[in-house]
Amino acid sequence: MNDKKTLMVNVIGATLLSCASVAQSANWLMLQGTEPEGESERARVWGFIQAQYQYDDSDPSYVPNTAGGYIPPKLIGPNLDSQSGFNVNRARIGVRGTGFPLDSKVNYFLLAEFGNHGITAPVGYNAALTDASITLNHIPGARVRVGMFKYPGAEEGLQAIHVFDYINFTSVTNQMLLERFPQSTDTNVAPGSTPEANMAQYSRSVGAFRDVGVQVFDTFKVDNWEHSYAIMMGNGNGLNYGDNDDNKDLYLYWSSELVFGGKGGRREGLKLFAWHQDGKRTNAYDKTQEQDRTRSGFGAKYLKKPFRVSAEYMKGKGMIFQGQHRPKDIYNDKEADGGYVEGGWYIPNSNWEIDLRYDTYTRGENHATSKAGDESRADTITVGTQYHFNKKTRVNIEVASRDYESDTPAVNTQQKDVANRYAIQLTHIF
């Protein structure tokens, strides 16, 4: 374990201990999978819109016939053909409720995406169904959720995106957890000499931290603590309704939360959690080959205004993403790990919030393609602020300072000029 990784694990461990000693946490399993028995509506329409502008000031330092050029981290997604742009990145509308008065123990959750991002852009900007599930609450201690929904896992993926305190995901979440699915017609492309050289070579939607399957879960209250578990079996095929092979993914999750008060996605408390995923992927370019894919992590999230702090460590093996321009290279047995520590301060007697996050990601740790190996590292410090117009409308402004490097000279030439990214986003929930 290198010094930077050791420091990251120690910092996260210290964060867990310090949080535990004092006692934004939310129970996403219950918030997304259930409805208040006997209180919810038969059909409640809801949704949110996020509109943003982002600018990346990375310098490609491109010289013809060298390894430099425009690569995905220097371009704005999902199109990856510009270093700046306005975008309606999310526009989701859904309906949820119960079968009341027929049966208040049955509830459903339906959500569709109309925005422009990794779900819709690869398939031609068509609206896409992201969630369609039914939950049966008849068995004490074992609720059953069936359909397409967020699998239990890392906090950045499991939480509701409209209450996420940042505009962009951490590198470890974006690269190691947000799964991409190649098709046999997807090809690798070289770094481009202009921003217009499109790097978006995956033609399928991202997995969006979702799967189709069945989940058994529940929450148990002991004094002021909530203990939750989830066990899920899924296709391991993202937002596709069907499966592409006979393999199934196993998801395991546990959390224990000391609840201070409040409700919903911004309930105050301390949450400790751990999770694990295991599955296989059939090679889109050679259907006779399969690749193992495992992911696991642990972390803590604490909120008691005016302060918030959270931390998480994650690791994975197999199917390690190599870049949006390199779909053929994702079928690998490489290892990766990373994590983040972040915090926020809600300025008293104001609508302002200050946010600070450090995240780190290392991939290719166990493969040496040259004498130096092919390990790549990404470190990011994000400074942001939020202004809350009201409980459902806010604006985020953030600056991300990024430091990328690789042991492979050609890759390092591409990554060394990755620099700052500026972003502003307006969110409204309805």
Domain boundaries, the chain: 3-429
Give the contacts of 191 (CB within 8 A, at least 6 positions apart): 60, 62, 67, 68, 69, 70, 71, 197, 325, 414
Task: Return the structure tokens found at 252.
Answer: 């395991």
Q: 54 and 85 in contact (C-beta within 8 Å)?
A: yes
Superfamily designation of domain 3-429: Porin (2.40.160.10)
* Res 18: pLDDT: 40
3 state DSSP class of 340: strand
* Pairs from 261-265 (Cβ < 8 Å, separation ≥ 24): 264/26, 264/31, 265/24, 265/26, 265/31, 265/159, 265/160, 265/163
What does residue 374 show for φ and ψ, rounded to 5 degrees?
-125, 30
Nearest residue to 53 (alpha-carbon basis) of 132, 224, 189, 167:
167
* Res 10: pLDDT: 54
- Looking from the CA of 385 toward its CB, the CA atoms found within 13 Å total 5
**Partners of 134 in the beta sheet?**
108, 146
The alpha helices in 88-193, defined as continuous H runs, are: 155-158, 171-172
**Partners of 382 in the beta sheet?**
357, 400
Q: Assign 3-class secondary structure to 27-76.
A: CHHHHHHCCCCCCCCCCEEEEEEEEEEEEECCCCCCCCCCCCCECHHHCC
Taking 70 as the pLDDT cut, the residues of the chain under it are 1-25, 63-67, 366-373
The alpha helices in 137-261, defined as continuous H runs, are: 155-158, 171-172
Percent composition of the chain: helix, strand, coil (DSSP 3-state, to 5): 15, 45, 40
* Res 61: pLDDT: 76
Nearest residue to 226 (alpha-carbon basis) of 189, 267, 186, 188:
267
* Res 36: pLDDT: 84
* Res 21: pLDDT: 33
Nearest residue to 72 (alpha-carbon basis) of 200, 208, 185:
200
Q: 330 and 180 in contact (C-beta within 8 Å)?
A: yes
Q: pTM for the complete prediction? A: 0.90
